[in-house]
């Protein structure tokens, strides 16, 4: 089950931090590492500071965009030192986050996302997440090194995993209650945006409206079945649009 927990590092500047993060992961039984556009990798400094966790580095994947690492994930938690404008569900305590992650990782991949050493995650990257988490620290100096942040959250995940029942029984989420992947949720959001535009609900660009709706569904955490019902509703609504309205909207989008 721990193999379903993915650690994602976005645009890491110092290769040594990659090695130390790999070491932090291995001490807590995690092995799935994804690097988004690292400044320098592979690198001898990363291997040196991995200190026995070179196998985690050897298995690491490098991708160009954060979205490339999230498609199959049912939960994506962005580690952030502060709340952003997008009102995503937020874990104030890492142990609460870890319990949810362990529950979701029973059946599908989940991801913990860490940003750049100096600036963290951008707002656009946070929007790709389903949740946020902060690590409580000294309010006068709450700065953690990247690998330290990975270690703290990885420890909480491992601790929550250790507390699972030791018997052979494991709670299995009913199939109808399984959370959707980020890819499936993306398809729904694209479908919703299309219907809002075609219906005339959005007569001009309303970025805040779409962001607020995305945040609403992130908080609601619909299951795959519920998301399928919502898409069925959108498809039914589309069938009642006059053909000329749909064609006009399509031509307008093509011109744009």
pTM of the shown model:
0.75
> Residue 3 gets which letter from DSSP?
G
* pLDDT tens, position by position, 159-205: 999 998 753 434 455 556 788 888 888 888 888 888 888 887 876 66
Q: Which residue has the higher pLDDT, 76 or 241?
A: 76
Residues 6+ apart with CB under 8 A from 190: none
Where does CATH 1.10.8.590 sit in the chain?
A: 178-255
Domain covering 2-162, topology: Alpha/beta knot (3.40.1280)
Q: What is the mean pLDDT of residues 192-219?
A: 78
Which alpha helices (H) appear in the chain, and where do they start and end?
A: 15-27, 44-50, 54-58, 94-105, 123-127, 146-162, 182-199, 207-220, 224-238, 243-255
**Are the CB atoms for 18 and 41 separated by under 8 Å?**
yes
Where does CATH 3.40.1280.10 sit in the chain?
A: 2-162
Q: For residues 98 and 14, what is the distance between their CA atoms, to the nearest angstrom?
A: 27
Q: Which of 89, 92, 144 is nearest to 120 (CA)?
A: 144
As a whole-number percent, the residues of the chain with pLDDT over 70 amount to 86
**Are the CB atoms for 51 and 19 separated by under 8 Å?**
yes
Number of neighbours of residue 143 by Cβ within 10 angstroms: 9
Three-class secondary structure of residue 31 per DSSP: coil
pLDDT at 237: 86
Question: Which CATH architecture is the domain 178-255 placed in?
Answer: Orthogonal Bundle (1.10)
């Amino acid at each position: 089950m721990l193999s379903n927990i993915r650690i994602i590092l976005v645009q890491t500047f110092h290769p040594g931090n990659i090695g130390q993060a790999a070491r932090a992961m291995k001490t807590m039984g995690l092995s799935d590492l994804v690097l988004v556009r690292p400044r320098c990798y592979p690198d001898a400094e990363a291997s040196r500071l991995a200190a026995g966790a070179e196998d985690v580095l050897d298995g690491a994947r490098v991708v160009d965009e954060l979205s490339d690492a999230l498609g199959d994930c049912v939960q994506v938690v962005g580690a952030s030192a502060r709340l952003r404008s997008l009102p995503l569900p937020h874990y104030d305590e890492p142990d609460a986050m870890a319990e949810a992650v362990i529950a979701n990782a029973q059946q599908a991949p989940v991801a913990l996302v860490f940003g750049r050493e100096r600036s963290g995650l951008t707002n656009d990257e946070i929007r790709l997440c389903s949740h946020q988490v902060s690590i409580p620290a000294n309010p006068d100096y709450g700065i953690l090194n990247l690998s330290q942040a990975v270690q703290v959250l990885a420890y909480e995940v491992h601790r929550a995993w250790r507390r699972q029942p030791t018997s052979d029984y494991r709670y299995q989420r009913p199939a109808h209650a399984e959370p959707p992947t980020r890819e499936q949720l993306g398809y729904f959001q694209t479908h919703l945006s299309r219907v809002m535009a075609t219906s005339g609900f959005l007569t001009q660009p309303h970025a805040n409206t779409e962001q607020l709706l995305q945040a609403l569904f992130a908080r609601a955490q619909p299951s795959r079945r519920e998301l399928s019902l919502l898409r069925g509703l959108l498809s039914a609504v589309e069938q009642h649009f006059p053909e000329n309205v749909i064609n006009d909207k399509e031509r307008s989008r093509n011109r744009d």
